[in-house]
Structure 1
Amino acid sequence: ELERIGISLLPPDINASDANFTVARTTEANGSHGIRYALAAIKNVGDVAMRTVVAERDANGPYTSIFDFAGRLGAGVINKRQLENLVRAGAFDALEPSRRKLFESVDLLMRHVESAERNNGQDSLFGAGPNMGMPEPILPEGADWPPLERLNHEQEAIGFYLSAHPLEAYTSALAALNTTACSKFLERAKEGATSVRVAGVVLNVQERDSNGRRFAFVRLSDPSGSFEVAYFQAAYSAARELLEPGRFLLVQANIRADGQIIKLTAQSTDDLEVRATGRMKGLEIHFSENTSLAPLRSILDRQGIGPGQILFVIKTPQRGHVEVGLKERYTLSPAVRAEIDALP
């Protein structure tokens, strides 16, 4: 709804968000304002704890690292589950962009804070902090979560996709498959369309039973919004194994408008990943000659043998761009392309 009226929803930030939603200036050149996501709106973090986080920040300045954050608050205010969800939601991105690195270091962080509190024998809240005089542990190195996994963690912590949408990696495939975006449903129905092909990520499934006949209402999400599809007995029985949260679906559905309300009824359902993968015949990858290929090799090996051809375009100072086609062929998909695009 905010996007429809031209207002940005800014991500949660441990040094910029309040416990509640606030108006904040965006990074746009025109100096526009947006809504900053509330810390307390992140799942399983608690309103009281987030108000304490903001009060400590206001009293003693911005947090400089996740260790500084936990040290100033102490284990009595912030626990493991709260830290994990703050990380998954992206609240620490400005301090450390690798969410996976922080998430996998939460146990190390909690042990450090608890040890420091014992050594100091004092409560850290609004004090010098239990880690004063103790060096911060070094976080283990490692790649961040792949883009789609990162977004799934974000969705689980916030309740929806905020920084991006996983189907954005499928833009070309969705255009080739002639899908209709959620934002265009009403327009298509008013034009007289009775059937549409839609794509979405399953958010939840509500199964019902009427006199032994099972049916379901499935909520899906695409980059333009979320929508519900009714699955009656035959369609539900055929698609039941696909109807799981997090699955990418391609649905042929009947459509009708009831005033401003759109009603969608599923006729058939396919696995979008399978359909999109079948359309990817090759991938062109650009990099410089000093780029490490180990992360790329790991991704390709994980996909296994398939029909997709890989073309390397290597930038060299002497010969400009050099093209090298790999002999091996791989199984390719939009998700794989997004993961490769995210490599440094």
Structure 2
Amino acid sequence: LIDMRPDRFEDIIALVALYRPGPMANIPTYCARKHGEEEPEYLHPILEPILKETFGVIIYQEQVMQVAQQMSGYSLGEADLLRRAMGKKIRAEMDKQRVRFVDGAVKNGVPKDQADTIFDLLAKFADYGFNKSHAAAYALVSYHTAYMKAHYPVEFIAASMTLDLNNTDKLSEFRAEAQRLGIKVEPPSINRSGPTFEVSGNTIFYALAALKGVGPQAIEMIVEARNKGGPFTSLADFASRVNPRAINKRIIETLAAAGAFDCLDKNRARVFAGADAIVAACQRANEAATSGQNDMFGNAADAPAIILPNIENWLPAERLRREYDAIGFFLSGHPLDDYAAALKRLRVQSWAEFSRAVKTGATAGKVAATVVSRMERRTKTGNKMGIMGLSDPTGHFEAVLFSEGLAQYRDVLEPGAAVLLQLGAELQGEDVRARVLHAEPLDDAAAKTQRGLRIFLRDTKPLDSIVRRLQGPEAASGNGNGASAKGTTAPPAPRAAAGEGEVSLVMMLDLETEVEMKLPGRFKVSPQIAGAIKAVTGVVDVQQL
């Protein structure tokens, strides 16, 4: 399009027909002739009115038929048989058609040698000629959608996402395109999202009906309750107003995992675990309303109390994994986001960078990814092979590994794991085919590059949670001696999980006073641990050193 600089609808039709393997070799010729850099060539004057629109380049099947009609006296029915014979390369039929074409052309004053040359030219182009009526229809849709995307990009992408509501691969692509264009895609919200993708300014609100296992009918009933009584103020309010036919345990769990209840309770783990209690409260409220248990003013009974389990929120990696299960891709972030500094130190390519490198001749590279799926199957020789579904912040991709690699790295390549991969690759058409040469846990690789953590606090409340995350699941807590300042009690010194990193706690006592306490021992201080500590309520910041 940039080379062509189209100024008429016919140019777009031509490009739709040309932009395919085979005919795309003629795009430079078309563009050069359009802009007067090259003169159109017509082997015979009869061809000029037929090929003038495309500057002498045979593009459409209809042009092949018109040449046969005008030059050799074919009926349109005969011309269609010629087109089919040329496309299928049926030798006997082609020989028969050549005699018919050349004889007809000679009767119209065309020299026999020239008629033979023109027949060969038609046969060459008929092999991949495109039907113009199809190209015109595609061109019109392309022009309309290009106009909409150029002038109404937010609305266009939201409408495209609604069209592919149940196709998470497509939704992931559209979301990535929205990011590229600087358009914000807000995670689903029970108080803001609708059944379809909605727009406000430069923001797209994620559709509740696009979540896995949540049907449009259920969402329409929830939105109807919200529209009728205003935004939900609590989970109890939600349960008291929503029709119990709209929800079940699975729907509540999916909405919680996707973050749809964050506006009512930010602890997704607690809401997820309390799905049964929410459904039961909804049923009780409905039974009370239908049995006439109203207060003296005629309003529905008070919202039933919901007692949720008192559990800690999911760690960032777990939160994103659950979100992936509910949405189909990573929406609010990516598990590798915490590793950005470590990946830079490890000189790791993104999948997008690696793909571009392969297309320019590279055959291997180092890539970090989250394993989202693993499928094993037998090859024709009976050996096992693995097909890994992988993801990084630039996209989803697949890589294969064969029996030896599968046996060696099976434990490392578990779904949900963050891994550092050495990939080999080759280009097949436009697709990059990758295979795993080496794999290791990304946490282990990143920990080797990290010197330590500095954790900023305002008080001592988060200390127990920090200690647990530093110790790892196997370590026991212990008490050590520490400094204190202005009545601040030093934290217990945790037994260090195996590692090489130093950890310091910085207590921010006021705007001008900070007390830094270095914990004894060495710790494993991977980006995942840093992210887990940063998620602790009361932690102001975590610096990775």
> What TM bracket, shorter-length normalisation?
0.7 to 0.9
Instruction: Report what 1:309 is aligned to.
Output: 502
Deviation at 1:274, TM superposition (A): 2.2
| In 2: Cα distance, 1:334 partner to 1:66 partner | 34
Aligned-CA RMSD value: 2.6
CA distance in 1, matches of 2:200, 2:454: 40
Q: For each residue in 1:76-118, what CA deviation from the matched residue of structure 2 results, as whole angstroms up to 9, or x when unmatched?
A: 2211111111011011112222212212222222232333333
**CA distance in 2 between partners of 1:120 and 1:9 (Å):** 38
User: Structure 1: 5+ residue runs without aligned partners?
Assistant: 26-32
1:40 CA drift (Å): 1.0
1:98 matches 2:274 = no
Aligned to 2:527: 334
Question: Is residue 2:288 matched to residue 1:112?
Answer: no
1:204 aligns with 2:373: yes
Give the match's secondary structure for 1:283.
strand
For 1:286, which of 451, 456, 460 is the aligned residue?
456
- Which of residues 1, 4, 7 in structure 1 aligns to 2:183? 7
In 2, the alpha carbon distance for the partners of 1:194 and 1:83 equals 46
| Structure 2 counterparts to residues 1-344 of structure 1, below 5 A | 1=173, 2=177, 3-25=179-201, 33-122=202-291, 132-134=301-303, 136-137=305-306, 139=308, 141-210=310-379, 211-289=381-459, 291-302=461-472, 304=475, 305-307=497-499, 308-317=501-510, 320-344=513-537
Tell which has more relative contact order, 1 or 2 (C-alpha 8 A, sep 6+).
1
Contact conserved, 1:74 with 1:123, CA < 8 A, in 2? no
1:69 Cα deviation (Å)?
Answer: 1.7
SS state of the match for residue 439, structure 2? Answer: strand
Q: State the AA in 2 paired with 1:158.
A: I
Structure with the higher helix share, 1 or 2: 2
2:498 partner letter? G
Q: Distance in 2 between matches of 1:19 and 1:318?
A: 46
Identical positions, percent: 34
What is the rounded CA distance, in whole Å, between the counterparts of 1:96 and 1:38 in structure 2? 20
Report deviation, 1:131.
6.4
CA contact (8 A) 1:215 1:231 kept: yes
After TM superposition, the score normalised by the length of structure 1 is 0.88
What is the TM-score with the length of structure 2 in the denominator? Answer: 0.57
What secondary structure does 1:76 align onto? Answer: helix
Q: Deviations over 1:246-299 (max 9, x none)?
A: 111211111233343222122111122222233333211111245542221222
User: 2:157 maps to which residue?
Assistant: none
Letter in 2 for 1:271: P
Q: CA deviation at 1:221?
A: 0.3
Shift of 1:41: 1.1
Give the whole-Å Cα distance in 2 for the aligned partners of 1:277 and 1:123.
Answer: 63
* Cα distance change of structure 1 residues 314 and 74 upon mapping to structure 2, 3 Å threshold: same
After TM superposition, give the deviation of residue 139 of structure 1 in Å: 4.4
Write the distance in 1 (CA, Å) between the matches of 2:269 and 2:289: 30
Residues in 2 aligned to 1:117 and 1:23: alpha-carbon distance in whole angstroms: 33
Long gaps (5+) in structure 2: 1-172, 476-496, 538-545
Q: Counting strand residues as a fraction of each chain, which structure ranks higher?
A: 1
Q: What is the alpha-carbon distance in structure 2 between the residues aligned to residue 256 and residue 66 of structure 1?
A: 52
Is the radius of gyration larger for structure 1 or structure 2?
Answer: 2
Preserved contact between residue 71 and residue 130 of structure 1 (Cα < 8 Å): no
Question: CA 1:289–1:22 in 2, change beyond 3 Å: closer, same or farther?
Answer: closer
The number of equivalent residue pairs is 334
